[in-house]
Every structure is written in C-alpha cells, then in structure tokens.
Amino acid sequence: MATFLPLILIFGVMYFLLIRPQVKRQKDLKKLVSSIEKGDEIITNGGLLGRVIKVTEAFLIIEVSDSVTIVVQRNAVATVMPKGTLKDTREG
C-alpha cells in the first residue's frame, strides 16, 4: 500500500492542476457558444472577426465586411468581443 501512495498523490495533483481546469474551460466555452445571438461580434478560431447576422442550431452566419458573409460552425467561435470592436477595427 505504501508503494501506491506516491502514485495516488501524483494523480491527485495532476487532476487538480491539469484536468479540472481544462474541464472548466470547456464548460465555460460551451456556455459562451450557446449564448451567442444575432448582433454579437465574435472572433473565430481561425482569427476572423465578424458580426453574427443569423444563428441556427449548428451554424452561425457572420458578416466579416460590408456585404461579405461566411458560414461557420458554432464550435469555431473562440470568443465574443465587446460591442463596437468591429466598428473600431474598420475605422483604424
């Protein structure tokens, strides 16, 4: 039993330092993606910045420039940006 104690301690430390934070990040990202609505400004995992113009169950249609729209999967969203970010980048 004493030989297993260090192994159990290492697993416990790895769980709290690596696995648990990753599960929390995944949960937060899933919540973020499910809360996206029309008008939100997002950045995709590919680095595209755009405004959501239509939301479906599996996809988002985003406008990346004037009259340029693309379709992306919901899980391709990296983050939701504050309102006005897209306007600021087009002006600058």
CATH of the domain at 89: 2.30.30.100
Supply the pLDDT for residue 3.
84
Looking at the structure, do residues 42 and 22 belong to the same domain, yes or no?
Answer: no
Structure confidence at residue 41 as a pLDDT band (50, 70, 90): very high
Domain count for the chain = 2
Instruction: Answer yes or no: do 31 and 44 share one domain.
Output: no
The pLDDT-based confidence of 92 (bands split at 50, 70, 90) is low
Check whether 74 has a pLDDT greater than 60: yes
Residues 13 and 42 in one domain: no
Q: Are residues 87 and 63 in the same domain?
A: yes
For residue 48, what pLDDT is reported?
94
Whether 70 and 89 map to the same domain: the answer is yes
The residue that leads in pLDDT, 66 or 87, is 66
Range of the domain at 59: 36-92
Average pLDDT over residues 49-71: 94
**Whether residue 53 sits in one domain with residue 78:** yes
Q: Name which of 47, 50, 87 is nearest 69 in CA terms.
A: 50
